[in-house]
Structure 1
Amino acid sequence: MTNYKPTLYNSLSHTNVLSTFLLLLTIFTVSTKTTAAQLPDRNKQAFSVEYMTGSSDMHGMRIAYKPDFNYDLNLPLIGNTRLSWETSLNLFDLHGSAKNEATYGISLSPVFSKALPNISNDYPLTLEFGIGVAYVHNEKFGGVDIGSYYQFEDRLGLLIGLDKNQNSEIAIRYIHYSNGGFNTKNPGLDFLSIAYIYRF
């Protein structure tokens, strides 16, 4: 019970920071002269390295790979959207408060990407979201009992292209892990992250 309030507070703080950032970015983008939105070349693969920090002073790293299985869709209310698949190796609590309680996991996630109106062709913007599944090799790590080896991995992120073709990007993400209530212990883990993405 003593760990619940700090975890909840940290989760809400991370959520508020990301929500505020995305809201300000949207207002700025809409109120500024913009250029046409675009998505990266659909025939390219992607590799990324990501650093995460979040719940209970935990830190982590994700190493992810997206094959060139990309599908362009026209979704109701959202419009032109790209569906990709990502698999990743996740390492949690690399140097947090409980160094002796580290764990690793793997995940598979469908990722939806939506191009945003760009302030400049040199720095294309993309919004991404998705809900995937993850397996962790230990239910207890970083001082938290997550209740299950199997977790859902939710994400919401903003990608900023570092070149016109978006071969290199920086991503800022909010990532949430939860067992979806399939276990009575479901504290959830919240992370803010920054990633470097390279397409080839």
Structure 2
Amino acid sequence: MPKRGYHHGNLKAALVEAALKLIEEKGPTGFTLSEAAKQAGVTPAAVYRHFAGREDLIAEAARQGYVIFADLMEHAYDRGQPSALAAFEATGRAYLAFARKFPGHYVAMFESGISVQHNPDLAVVAARGRGILDRAAADLSQHIPAEKRPPAEMFSAHIWAMSHGVVELFARNSPGTRSPFPPEDLLETGIGVYLRGLGLIPMEE
């Protein structure tokens, strides 16, 4: 096997790429560092030049995923402006799009058991992604009277949980689950029901 990345002096990137492929194929706990090294075309000992163990390697894959995730969320939020409602709905759709386009990163971030506090860099970029959804929720909730307004963090957590549930059950071909509706429609209608309950969009006749 050719030594992808390594002979270009990019061993760290090659190992992360290998880990992402193995995560997609076997899950975050289904591979060893030796397999990642083999996939990258280097010896197992070479892995320790950059990572103390498999958790550190997965944490780096998660960190890179959060960078992509935050960029996508921010782009979606900005594209939806100046409407607070459009910006909020766009961030929900961006979550679904990210999970589909970057499955290895998604699993490393949300299904590996690696805490976002694993290292400071991971914590910072994870907070950035969540902060964009919090900002979108805060903008939209300004239309709710103060005495009835939920905390923006609670508001965004509800939508995060809904988005995550749609992804897990219906957007990633989970065994034994099949939705009669496209995941995008499920998420859009779910968000609609939630926002109507808060009085942020009118009830349908």
Give the TM-score, by structure 1 length.
0.24
When you count strand as a share of all residues, which structure comes out higher? 1
Max Rg structure: 2
TM-score normalized by the length of structure 2 = 0.24
